[in-house]
Amino acid sequence: MVIQLITSIVLIASVLLQSGKGSGMSEAFGGNSNQMAASRGRGTDAILAKVTSVCATLFIVVAIALVAIQ
């Protein structure tokens, strides 16, 4: 159950930190999304994409395992 909680928090954070194709989270708070996109390298986006994929897979596996043991 703790693994599910940690995985969900990391998954939410990794999705929110990714730069979107349109306006990002900074646009909601009055910032300029172009400044954030320019300062972030392509490496960070690739790492966040991998972290998101791993966390999503782990989240699904743990959810199925929790249902199976109940």
In this predicted structure, what is the pLDDT of residue 42?
Answer: 73
Phi, psi dihedrals of residue 64, rounded to the nearest 5°: -65, -40
CA dihedral of residues 13, 19, 25, 26 (deg, nearest 10): 130
Question: Does residue 47 or residue 30 have the better pLDDT?
Answer: 47
In this predicted structure, what is the pLDDT of residue 43?
Answer: 85
pTM of this structure:
0.68
Please report which confidence band the pLDDT of residue 26 belongs to, taking 50, 70 and 90 as the band edges. Answer: low
